[in-house]
Amino acid sequence: MKIADNTIAAAEQYLLNNLQDVYGVREIASFTDLLFEDLLSLSKTDRFLSPEKRLSESELLQIIYACKDLKKQVPVQHITGKVLFRNLWLKVNKHVLIPRPETEELLSNIIRDHKNIASAVDCCTGSGCIALALKSAFPLASVVAVDVSQEALNVAQQNAALNNLHVDFMLQDVLSNEMPFAAESIDLIVSNPPYVLESDKQKMSLNVLQYEPHLALFVPDEDALKFYAVLTKNAQFSLKKGGMLYFEIHEEKGKDVRDLMLACGFIEVQITKDMYDKERFVHGKKA
């Protein structure tokens, strides 16, 4: 695999020629923008204005190696090593899920609903995207991020340092029923827990199945609500009166999660759709 000459235009054409059997044209264009911006510090405008600008041998090699990885369906965020989540640049790798636009919507919903938050807990934090976005939006809040994976927490801690945000991190299995928070001590609890059904695997793309942690993705079909059941019970204990619980959910489980929260005594429980018109979020208030 070689690039015909060392111009920007030739490198762009190289990516298109080599990736079009695997990806659509729009997706290749998006990859091209990300690779040039993040690996070579060349914006789309730079490329448009100077298509004949020559790239160095090392820059060409970065494009070639990135193209090889993309053909293997390595996520482009793993190639660049980072992703933009709201206003934060976050490191991502094989130990954490790549933050999705739907999770950004979850944060937007929380920020819309609250002017101030004194204390918040993010369960199943992964890259730390939710906890760090909360801290960025509510600088005076005390934020705790919880995860069962030390590797994930290592990434989240690096992201906190990269963005100069102070969040407390806790290694804890949220299914253990031993969340160490005092009764009625927290204003807000949020979680994007594992919720993809094992039976959904056959419909998923290889870049997710091969390169993102199954620990953070899948739950058994026969016990699809196990995280929501434990987290709701613990939230009922730890939240202050009037405190809020927010979940990201499987698109087919909205009613089930809502009923679970109502059964645990939450009020004003609402299901909210995402940008794709799918039921994706449930939130409610402790009575």
The CA-based diameter of the chain, rounded to the nearest angstrom, is 67
What is the rounded CA–CA span in Å between residue 233 and residue 270? 18
Q: Which CATH number fits domain 82-286: 3.40.50.720, 3.40.50.150, 3.40.50.12280, 3.30.70.260?
A: 3.40.50.150
Q: How does residue 36 score in pLDDT terms, banded at 50, 70 and 90?
A: very high
Q: What is the mean pLDDT of residues 185-190?
A: 97
Per-residue pLDDT tens digits for 75-110: 999 999 999 999 999 999 999 999 999 999 999 999
Residue 179 scores a pLDDT above 90: no
- Give the domain ranges of the chain: 8-72, 82-286
Q: How does residue 1 score in pLDDT terms, banded at 50, 70 and 90?
A: low
Q: How does residue 208 score in pLDDT terms, banded at 50, 70 and 90?
A: confident
Contacts of 163 (CB under 8 A, 6+ apart): 88, 89, 90, 132, 136
Phi, psi angles (nearest 5°) of residue 127: -70, -10
Say what the pLDDT of residue 229 is: 96
Say what the pLDDT of residue 227 is: 96
